[in-house]
Homo-oligomer: A and B are copies of this chain.
């Protein structure tokens, strides 16, 4: 649909997807599931089940209980309102006019709140917002997120201040060089090869296509990523390919013996993001990676011959507060997410209304990032998440960063030579380690439990902030 569908096919495809969603919902609320769950729970021999079987039962029950708790009408009305709101968002964004979107967003938000109120009781979460976060990041209370995001915000603010007041300013003019799309495609293949994301052999389990917005889809032996090539912004595709390949490697290395079981899926969106951002930033924006990769990439075309590793490494790590989340650098990125988290938390708790969104947004961008939002298209309407009703999704992006920092600290302990592996072009060792620690465990644990098992530690922002400070103090000389 996203890569190849003829434009006129969209209505037909929407109908087909609607039908499938309806069938899926119908199957998911089949009373037979409830009967079986009751039988299992009442069975005196329940302790025969091993941990993974128990986890499967728990995950099936969780989904079933949630699904049957939501009234049919609410599910249908939400699905309908979602489509309407997304369409209005597209129009409002094009017209730079939030008022076009407001009414429909209000309705959709009301419906999501109604669902959240029901889910709060069913899941017994602290707040109704927690009930929504739980869909994407299970058992992750907003109160805990507030605490760690507050630490992160403080740490990032200090770091950004240091970069700003530093005298050494990395130049990034080389990034403005015009690079033909055909050459960028070749670079993508090199990146994929480094990550052992096989796209061109006879046993390939992946491929790279092109779409407006990059994404990853599929699992196990068929995991495909997409990217977008901009002739005048060639690093955009480099980092989106690295990011999506990070997602792809996770899906390809799930435990194959658990296929189609609930435990056979990934842990959480936050964990998925921890892996994509690990590959994109911790590996992909490291000096070791480019010391290996730059000579190989340069060889592809004379247009790249004169790029020096020092210049390139500085350029791709320039810290510069900006308006658009998906274009943000590694350091300021999490602040974009924290702003969204704080806003949607207050919205869900009734402290602000849909009408307040633009003003609150602009004020926070001013306060946290020192950026002036001039219109809502580059402000509150930049992302599709809220018009799609995905409240509770945003925090997973910054949680992913925090997880990635803790996982990195663990990698330092267990594979002390990991940087040498990278500069020698060997990602295999690290991938094996990540497979053992993260990928192969699938959804056997809730994210905070998995994090504890991997790192022997509770969630905290220290490791991620240390990683950033170590890296950027060298880059900016403070």
Which residues of A are interface residues toward B (Cβ below 8 A)? 3-9, 11-13, 198-199, 201-207, 209, 218, 220-224
Contacts and interface: CB of A to CB of B under 8 A. Distances in A.
Contacts of A202: 7
B12 A222 contact: yes
B220 A12 contact: yes
Contacts of A5: 222
A222 B13 contact: yes
A208 to B, nearest CB: 10
A206 to B, nearest CB: 5
> Assembly of this chain: how many copies?
2
Nearest to A27: B23
22 contacts: A3-B4, A4-B4, A4-B207, A4-B209, A4-B224, A5-B222, A6-B198, A6-B204, A6-B206, A6-B207, A6-B224, A7-B201, A7-B203, A7-B204, A7-B205, A8-B198, A8-B221, A8-B222, A9-B205, A9-B218, A12-B221, A12-B222
A274 to B, nearest CB: 25
A8 B207 contact: no
B209 A6 contact: no
A195 to B, nearest CB: 15
Nearest to A220: B12
A8 B203 CA distance: 5
A8 B204 contact: yes
Contact of A6 (B4, B6, B12, B205): B205
A336 B355 CA distance: 72
Nearest to A201: B7
Contacts of A207: 4, 6
Contacts of A220: 12
Contacts of A224: 4, 6
A251 to B, nearest CB: 12
A11 B221 contact: yes
Q: 4 tightest A-B contacts by CB?
A: A9-B222, A8-B205, A8-B221, A6-B204
A199 to B, nearest CB: 7
Nearest to A204: B6
A44 to B, nearest CB: 34
Contacts of A203: 7-8
A287 to B, nearest CB: 32
A203 B9 CA distance: 9
A403 B13 CA distance: 33
A225 to B, nearest CB: 11
A9 B252 CA distance: 11
B4 A199 contact: no
Given A3-B4, A12-B221, A12-B222, 14 more contacts: A4-B4, A4-B207, A6-B199, A6-B207, A6-B221, A6-B223, A7-B201, A7-B202, A7-B203, A7-B204, A8-B203, A8-B205, A9-B218, A11-B221
